[in-house]
Structure 1
């Protein structure tokens, strides 16, 4: 993770013979709760191959490695939506040009907020957490949240995702073996506060969990997953309807057999190719180095 006050962002993952960063379209990947930033590594490789300048910075206080995040998660405790939004805004404002944003779950919420603020050329929100004004709350989603929400002390603490709970809620659409492998290679503890904020968004007029759906902005793709229990596709469709009066491009796509793990499981590349297609259709493809 690069602190806001550090020198310009190094894109160390790029090959030495890659074009200069200023001649490439930046893509910033934003993960949600319980996934580490390194879970985006296959996406970074694919988008680099397609000519983009990809980057996946972590949340505030997130250690650079997954083992460190599992061993020392305390710096993330108490982080809420406003803090995460400010963190990513600070990083994005240091880029030489507005990036494309790809966010998952709470990262999808942040991507929509940053896009509405005019900080991005376009955005993709995959299974994004609902914002104020989206009233849909299916029973299966409520059941996935209750283990955290029923203990008020979790608002100030770090919450761990057990392999069993991850299997039940995140990775229900893949095999048990794959679920346990994903838990071992991608999952870290996460702050509980954002879940409480999202749960109370429609009761709190001053909530940070809001999106200006009327703002003039770049193209937005909302993606739902048909078997998602954490953010069911019906919730994402309800969010898409909030954009109906917007003059800006808003598209919705749905992966019928996928769960909330769709950005990291064996089907991730199908989703990634759909994202690349969306960017290409709306003029957000990488620019040539001599462009």
Structure 2
């Protein structure tokens, strides 16, 4: 990548207000690009139609501006649905994906043991359905990547993380991941991989909770002939009990901090200096 312009991105979902964990990730991605004379992309991952809200999009822009961050491009996943569909069609034509009619409860009940960070890996129940069986189903389906078949095409794959070094991908541990959900035209895995390529992202700066997901993204990059960025997975911000901050757990939002009198520029400077004794799991240096 010698001589290539560095491009990073921050890609929140507008399903709630940003909290300190988001602030740390956004600052890291922003500063990584700025320190190298590069570009910083803000991508709104808004294809979850049941939870994405316009007011949360406005809140993201407000919070990042309050922190003093500026972006060079603003992108919305909802404007790229045709791109996701086209990529999925390419994989369908090659027989690398299959429709799955299972519910989450059925998957959990059939799994022999929990795997990965997002629950049990899918046991492949629908992988062997015949064309007649598929035609007889009337319920909604998602589309899953046939991981063994995909890896037979790609062979062994590697990717590089700034802290961990070269990683030999182990996507089989993630099972046959969903590429298009029952209620959305693309899953996180498919959308983020295509978006990073389309937006010229050279360096992915994100939390270590997505470390294993990179194995899946590496497979999709190989199948769809996409460039492979460098990865920089950072520690998560956690609370006093060692739990990572999350919207669903009521983590204090940046908006609430602002309403309480916190100054955004001061907060950003404190995070950059690594002063964050309330969050022992995060090294902010």
- Bigger radius of gyration: 2
Same fold (TM over 0.5): no
